[in-house]
Chains A and B, each alone.
Chain A
C-alpha cells in the first residue's frame, strides 16, 4: 500500500551483507557437519527395492544368450531385466548415442552392464545376479590405443555401419575423432625438416599420461520412484539434470516431462557424474515393479561405473631459436576413449586447440586422435583434455630451457601469450592474460625453509617416506619446478550451454525474501553459496533461499568446464536484474518515483528502494505487500565456432583461464620416494566471488594434480582394471599434501558476469607438470610418464 511506504531520507542504505566478494558460510554446511545432509545413497522408502547390476566379466565378447529363469525363481526377486526390456531407445550417450542401456549382441568393456535386478534386500539381489547365465563367446580385446588409431587391420570395436559416421570428426575405423591443427608453414604443407634446420635447439619426446580416476568419495547412487501418471521421479547425484533427462526419457519411451529429476546430495563429481550410471536402470526397475528402487554402487563397481580421464600417448617435438624463441612444434596426441564415446569428441577438441599451451609458436602441427578400444570408457575429468597436453608441453618447455641454458621461467616468459595473442586455432585472446606477471610472482614467492634450516631435519615426518623410517635424510635431494596451464572455460565449439534461473522476491513476515531456483548441480564447489551472494548483491536483500535443484526449471547446463559461476551465476544475475526492473516499475506505479527520475539512479540496497538523489524511496516489504515478483531468465555465453576438420581453425572457446604453479619437492633418490614440500599457485580469476571457496577450489584442484603427478593411475592390463579399490588406487592423503600458498589476481574479463573467470580446473592442469619438473630437477631423470613411479626415479626397468 503506497501510503504506508516510508520516505525517510536519512535512513540510507545499510550495505547488504554476504554479497559478492565476501565469504559467507555455505548454506548446506550445517547439514553437512551434523550428518543430516541427504546424499543420494541415504534415501529410504519403506517399500523400496534394491537394484543391482550384472556386469560383463570380459572386455570383449559376443553374447549368444541371457537366461534369467533361475534368478526370477529366487524369493524376494521382483524383476530381472535385460536389453529386451528396454522400453525405448536401446542406445544412449552424452555426445554420440553409442552405448547400450543394457548390452545386446556384444559387450565391449569389462564391467559393461548386461542385466539388472530388483530385490527386497541387497544380498538377495546379489544372489540373483549369480543365477543369471550369459552365454559369451570371448573375443580378443582391442587394448592398444595407438593400434586402434593407425592399424588398418585392427578389429573394429563398433562394427562398420552400426553407428552413424560423423564427417566433422573425421571418423574412420576406430577413430571417434581426429582433429588436426595446422598453422604457419605447416598450413602450406612445409615439411618439418625445413624448420628443424633453422632451430638452435630441438627436443623430441614421447610422453604418457595414465588413466586417472575422479575418485569422488560418494559412489554412484540414487532412487527412482514410479509416479501415478506412468512417469518416474528420480533422485540422483549428477552434474547435469537435464542432459540426464534427455537420455533417460527416450530409453524409457517416455516424454521428457514424465521423467522428473531432483538433485540428491552429491558426494563429489569432478567429471565422473557427467555420464549416466544407474539412472536408466533404476527407472526401468521402478516402472516394471511399481515400487521405489534404490541403487548404490560399491567402490569396486564405481571403478567401472563411471568414465575416467583419458590416458594419453603423446609425441611432442619443439624447436626454438638459440635465443629461446619458439619456432615450431609438432604434436601427436592419442587419447584412449575406451569402448564408448562419452565426451571423447569434446576432449579431443580441447586437447588439439590447447595442445601447444599458452605459448606463441608461429608454426604448429597438431594431430589429436580419440579412439575406441575395449578399455574402460573415458570421458570428463577436471581439466578435460587440457591436463594431458599440459603435461607434455610443460615438460617440453623445461627440456628446451635446459638445452638452451635458460631458467625455465625465463624461457616461458620469453614465449608467453598475453592479451591479443592468437592461439593456434586463430582465436584471439580478447581478455587479460597476465602470464608473464604470474610467472614472475610464482618465482618470487617465498621459498619453504631448506632442509638444513628446519628445526629438526632428522624429524622423520619431514622426510620422503615419513614415519615409515625409510630415510634419515641421506639420499634426499630438493628440486623446484614450474607449471603453467591454459584452460577453456564453458563449453566450446558452437555448443550453447545456457543456464536458466528463476528468481522470486516477496515479503515474508514483513521482511523482503528472495528465492533462487535453478537446475544447477551443487557438487561441493559451493555454487549454492554463490547463487545466494549474487541475489543479495543484485537485489539488496539479505534473506535469500536457494531452492533445491530439479527439472521444474530450465536447464542450467553441467557443473563442469569451470562454468557454473559464469553461466548459472550469469543467469541468476540476469533474473535478478529483471526482478529489479519490475520492482522499480512497481514503485513508479505507486507514485514513489518521480516521472523524470531515471531508473539509472535507482538501486535496491538494504531491503529498500533507494534513489541516488532522493534517498530511500520505499522499503521492499511495504512496496511488495502481498505481491510476489518472479522472473525467469536464460543466460547464454557468446557464440563459439566448431574447429574446421582440416586445419583446426575457428574461435571455438568462450573464455581462457590460467594458473601457474611452483612446486618444491624432496626426493629420496635411492628409493624413489617423493615428498612435496610446497605447492604454491598464482591464478587470475577475473573477480573473486567468495575468497574462501575460491581458495578451496585452487587447493583441491592442485591436490588432484598432485595425485596425477605422483600416484594416481588406473592399471589396465589387457583391458582389465587391476586396481579397482582405494587400497590399490592411491589418492593423496593429508600427509601427501603440503601447505599451499595462493596469490590471486583479479583482471576482469569484459565478456563475463562481474568479469569473473572459471577457477576450478586451471590448478589441476599446472600442478602436475610443476611437481614432475621439480622431481626432474632433483633427480636429473627424464620422467616422461605421469604419474612418476618410484622405478622411474631410481632408474630401473620393471
Chain B
C-alpha cells in the first residue's frame, strides 16, 4: 500500500492504495467518482479522460500512485457551485453532441484542455485535439460544433490573450455540416 494525497474536484483525499491501482479505479471505486467511466481498458477510447494538473490524461493509463500530490479535475467538478454548467457542458447539451453519453465525460474534459491551449481553434484543430476520444453514436459532427460554440462563449466571457500560435488557420473554417435546423426539407 502507498499513501497518496489527491485533490479531486477541489476536495482533498488521503488514501492508502495498492501500487497497481489505476487512477480511474481509485476515482470510481474508492472516491465514488463514477462520473468518469471506463470504456476500453486500453487507452484507446478516452472515456476516462480527466485533467491532472490541468492537462488531460486518460485515467486508465495513470496509476493512482503517480497522481500523488496532484490536482485532479473530473467532469463532476466542472459545473459551478450554483449548478451552472461549464460552457463546454452547456454546448454539448445544446448542440446534441451526445447520444448515449458514455464518451461525454472524457470528451468534455479533452475539449476543456483543448480550449485552454487553443481558445480559437479551427474545425480541423478541434478534430485533431479530440482524436484520442472515441464516440460511437454521433459521427462527431455535433461534437465539433459544440466545442466551437463553447469556444465562442468562453472567448466572450474572458478576453483571452492572443498570440500567433492561436490564430485560426485561414480557410479551414466552415467545414462543419449544416446545422440540423438548416436541414433541407
Q: Are B139 and A741 in contact (CB under 8 A)?
A: no
A694 in the interface (beta carbon within 8 A): yes
**Pick from A37, A269, A734: contact of B131, CB under 8 Å:** A734
Contact residues of A between 27 and 71, Cβ < 8 Å to B: 28-30, 32-39, 41-42, 44
Q: A716 → chain B, closest Cβ, in Å? A: 20
Q: Is the CB of B99 within 8 A of A726?
A: no
| Contact indicator per residue, chain B 57-89, by CB within 8 Å of chain A (1) or not (0) | 000000000000000001110110000010001
Select A33's contact among B32, B41, B104, beta carbons within 8 Å: B104
Q: How many residues of B contact A (CB 8 A)?
A: 67
Q: A299-B39, A734-B130, A739-B175 are in contact. Are A727 and B185 (CB under 8 A)?
A: no
Is A270 in contact with B93, judged by CB distance below 8 angstroms? no
Q: Does A693 contact B (CB under 8 A)?
A: yes
B103 within 8 A of A: yes
Interface of B is mostly: loop
A525 at the interface (CB under 8 A from B): yes
Q: Please, what's the 1-or-0 string for A720-755, where 1 marks a CB less than 8 Å from any CB in chain B?
A: 000001110001011101011111111000000000
Establish whether residues A32 and B101, one from each chain, have CB atoms under 8 Å apart when the complex forms: yes
Q: Is A740 within 8 A of B134, CB to CB?
A: no
Q: With an 8 A cutoff between CB atoms, is A25 at the interface?
A: yes
User: Bound state CA distance, A523 and B137, in angstroms?
Assistant: 10
User: In the bound complex, what is the Cα–Cα distance between A741 and B182 (angstroms)?
Assistant: 10
**Cβ 8 A contact of A216, one of B100, B104, B180:** B100
Give the number of residue pairs across the A-B interface with Cβ within 8 Å: 214
Closest chain B CB from A279 CB (angstroms): 19
Chain A residue numbers with a CB within 8 Å of B94 are 25
A155 at the interface (CB under 8 A from B): no
List residues of chain A with CB within 8 A of the CB of B28: 42
Q: Given A265, A267, A727, A734, which contacts B133 in the complex, CB threshold below 8 Å?
A: A734
Cα A704 to Cα B134 with chains together (Å): 12
Residues on B with beta carbons closer than 8 Å to the beta carbon of A740: 139, 141, 177
Given A41-B37, A742-B178; A731-B98 close (CB under 8 Å) = no
A23 part of interface (Cβ distance < 8 Å): yes
B8 at the interface (CB under 8 A from A): no
Q: A702 at interface (Cβ–Cβ under 8 A)?
A: yes
Within 8 A of A (CB), among B136-185: 136-144, 170-172, 175-178, 180-181, 183-185
Given contacts A218-B100, A299-B40, contact A34 B136 (CB under 8 A): no
Which residues of A are found within 8 Å of B100, using beta-carbon distances? Answer: 216-218, 266-269, 523-524
Q: Is B39 within 8 A of A461, CB to CB?
A: no
Q: Which residue of B lies closest to A302 (CB)?
A: B40
| Interchain nearest-CB distance for B32 vs A (Å) | 7
State whether B184 touches A216 (Cβ < 8 A).
Answer: no
Q: What does the 1/0 interface line of A268-304 toward B look like (CB < 8 Å)? A: 1110000000000000000000000000001110000
Complex interface: chain A residues within 8 A of B136 (CB): 214-217, 268, 270, 700, 704, 731
A692 sits at the interface (CB 8 A): yes
- Residues of A with Cβ closer than 8 Å to B? 23, 25-26, 28-30, 32-39, 41-42, 44, 214-219, 265-270, 298-300, 454-456, 461, 467, 523-526, 688, 691-696, 699-704, 725-727, 731, 733-735, 737, 739-746
Would you give 19 A-B contacts (Cβ < 8 Å), ordered by A?
A33-B98, A35-B36, A41-B38, A44-B34, A214-B136, A216-B102, A217-B37, A217-B47, A217-B134, A218-B102, A524-B101, A696-B96, A696-B139, A699-B141, A700-B138, A727-B42, A734-B130, A734-B131, A745-B185
18 extra interchain contacts, Cβ-Cβ under 8 A, other than A39-B34, A735-B127?
Answer: A29-B96, A34-B79, A41-B38, A42-B34, A44-B32, A267-B101, A268-B99, A299-B40, A523-B100, A524-B137, A526-B96, A526-B99, A691-B181, A699-B177, A726-B42, A733-B132, A733-B134, A745-B185
Closest 5 CB pairs of A and B: A35-B35, A524-B100, A455-B171, A32-B101, A699-B139
